[in-house]
Amino acid sequence: MELKQIGPQHPKIKQVLAIQRNTAPNPRRMITAEGLWAHNLLLEHDVFIDTFLWCPEAAYGDEARTRAVELAERAHLAYQVSKKTLARISERDKPDGLFSIAQLPMWEPQDVRLGKSSLIMVADSMEIPGNLGTLIRTLDAAGADCLVLTNRRTRLTHPKVFRASQGMVLKMPILDFECTEDAITWLQSNDVDVYLADTDDAKNYRSFDYSSSRTAFILGSERYGIPKPWHEAGYERVFIPMLGSADSLNVSISAAVFLFEARAQKNRW
């Protein structure tokens, strides 16, 4: 496979570094992917690959070489890079010679089809990219239907989101609303039962029946909690009992507790 070779001063290498530094505008929601597992996910989920970078000297097996041919054919642009250039942009020890700039799927409210007992998580004002990525991975594990983001404080394109989600950011439907009120309107229009993860005037999360309705749990920011409009909407509040000295759980762990309880009820576990 013959591809044009580019070096560290090429615009595409500079674009990779800008995405990784998470500083430049990224309206097309481009992410970077490296290594065999990540590229298998790109192919599996039919993700648009803007640019594929191939370093044959860094390939560790026949599978990487086979995937390189597929990726070069699929990508809008494809180039070859040296081992030195790959090392400059790679954040992995052994990226298998495979590196791409890809585009995250873009979801609109009309794209998300909810069933009679769909399971939804809402994250309002989430700030830490690693937490967001872990949350997405948790939703996938629990068989949730979608993630709703409001007042987002971190980009979905942050490299830590992709890594912490184990690539599940490519497949989990994610709706991104600019303000809380828009998310509330969408939930109301879809007849979703909403529960706020809060401790004040709250009931034990296991005291509710989630089995036969569309269900959404609301998580607030790591620092400030759930914004006022959610409370003004009059939703039920749920809490997870703390049996030790700690007064709270990590946001993704809290999400797992809520989601798997609701999933157990819906699936009659």
Q: Is pLDDT larger for residue 178 or for residue 210? A: 210
How far apart (Å, rounded) are the C-alpha atoms in residues 105 and 171?
Answer: 8
pTM over 0.75: yes
Q: What is the dihedral of CA 227, 128, 162, 145, to 10 degrees?
A: -20
Residue 222, pLDDT score: 65
Residue 249, pLDDT score: 81
> Strand, helix or coil at 96?
coil
Q: Are 131 and 155 in contact (CB under 8 A)?
A: no
How far apart (Å, rounded) are the C-alpha atoms in residues 145 and 174?
Answer: 9
- 72-96 pLDDT per residue, tens: 999 999 999 999 999 999 988 888 9
What's phi and psi for 133, nearest 5 deg? -65, -45
- 125-167 pLDDT per residue, tens: 888 899 999 999 999 999 999 999 998 888 999 999 999 999 9
Q: Are 218 and 235 in contact (CB under 8 A)?
A: yes
Beta bridge partners of 32: 101
Taking Cα atoms as reference points, which of 100, 101, 121 lies closest to residue 112? 121
> Strand, helix or coil at 251?
helix
How far apart (Å, rounded) are the C-alpha atoms in residues 45 and 43?
Answer: 6
The domains found in the chain, sorted by start residue, are: 11-103 (3.30.1330.30), 109-266 (3.40.1280.10)
Phi-psi region of 234 (alpha: psi -120 to 50; beta: other; left: phi over 0): left
Q: Are strands 174-177 and 49-54 parallel, antiparallel or unpaired?
A: unpaired
Taking Cα atoms as reference points, which of 158, 177, 164 lies closest to residue 131? 164
Taking Cα atoms as reference points, which of 78, 74, 94, 76 lies closest to residue 86? 94
Residue 263: count other Cβ atoms within 10 Å of its Cβ: 18
Mean pLDDT of 208-230: 89
Residue 246, pLDDT score: 81
Taking Cα atoms as reference points, which of 43, 266, 253 lies closest to residue 143? 266
Length of the chain: 269
- Give the tokens for residue 41: 């996910």
Residue 178, pLDDT score: 86
Q: Are 231 and 179 in contact (CB under 8 A)?
A: no
